[in-house]
Amino acid sequence: MRRYVIAGNWKMNLGPKKAVELIEAIKEEIKGKETAGCDIVCCVPAVDIAVVAAACEGTPIKVGAENVHWAEKGAFTGELSADMLLEAGAEYVIIGHSERRQYFGETDLTVNARVKAALAGGLKVILCVGELLNERELDITAEVVAKQTKVALKDITPEQMANVIIAYEPVWAIGTGRTATSAQADEVCGIIRNVLCGLYGENIAEATTIQYGGSMNAGNAAELLSMDNVDGGLIGGASLKAPDFATIIAAAQ
Ligand code: PEP
């Protein structure tokens, strides 16, 4: 059956020194505790990947990047390829985060190009989808997440889906302290699972990890994670606090 995945998104926080300090604090928090019930990932700024990967060696913590370019190499100043991220020590990559869509012109088509390149290059993908507040108010959440999911996964094969995690992140809940209710999170994760069922069939839909993200924290994680269709969390702010991140990991056991 599908795995729970608890992933931190550190965003544009912490240079290499502070990044290693946070990893050491997380290691200390989870030492001697049960962690086998979920995969643990820290998605970190690109400049931190190598030192964080070294600090995570021999621990259950895996390392992810926060974006990847679609080309293998070339004249793309400031960008990073899947190969480069892998070589630095990343195993996962977040693609299509709403902050990339909102501030950096990311579209469903560029998300699809990145997903294809990441999977072809050997990275595991955390694909973010989610509606804006006005889209929820217009009652078109299902259509929005279905379109984002379908376009992002265009040309992705059933075999490649083993390396895809989907993060349902309502944009109105990210960094706002306003969390979706567990019923809302479960409903939309279920809608996404139905979309996967239409694209790939029931077995793959049931095997795919679908996370909730949006102000998940130490206080609300247990309830969100108890929902049938919620298989983990993508966590921003609370992933920067070692005790809170460890509490969320504990809630996923
Ligand atoms: C995120 O950045 O993916 C996120 C969910 O942030 P926060 O937990 O801070 O809302």
CATH number reported for the structural domain that contains residue 180 in this entry: 3.20.20.70
pLDDT-based confidence at residue 214 (cuts at 50, 70, 90): very high
Number of domains in the chain: 1
Structure confidence at residue 1 (pLDDT): 79
The pTM is what? 0.98
Question: Is residue 177's pLDDT more than 90?
Answer: no
In a 3-state reduction of DSSP, which class is residue 13?
A: coil
Residue whose CA lies nearest to ligand 1 atom number 2: 236
Ligand 1 nearest atom to the CA of residue 174, by list position: 10
Ligand 1 nearest atom to the CA of residue 216, by list position: 8
Catalytic option among 66, 69, 97, 131? 97
Average of per-residue pLDDT across 4-30: 98
Question: Is residue 143's pLDDT more than 90?
Answer: yes
Average of per-residue pLDDT across 227-232: 98
Distance from residue 157's CA to the centre of ligand 1 (Å) = 29
Cα–Cα distance between 150 and 192 in angstroms, integer?
10
For ligand 1, is residue 89 a contact (CB within 6 Å)? Answer: no
For ligand 1, is residue 175 a contact (CB within 6 Å)? Answer: yes
Question: Is residue 78's pLDDT more than 90?
Answer: yes
Structure confidence at residue 40 (pLDDT): 98
Average of per-residue pLDDT across 125-129: 98
Structure confidence at residue 167 (pLDDT): 98
Residue whose CA lies nearest to ligand 1 atom number 7: 236
Structure confidence at residue 106 (pLDDT): 97
Angle between helix 49-56 and 16-30 (nearest 10): 20
Percent helix, strand and coil across the chain, each to the nearest 5: 50, 15, 35
**Mean pLDDT of the chain, nearest integer:** 97
Question: Is residue 43's pLDDT more than 90?
Answer: yes
Active site (annotated) includes residue 69: no
Cα–Cα distance between 227 and 80 in angstroms, integer?
36
For 21, the domain range is 4-251
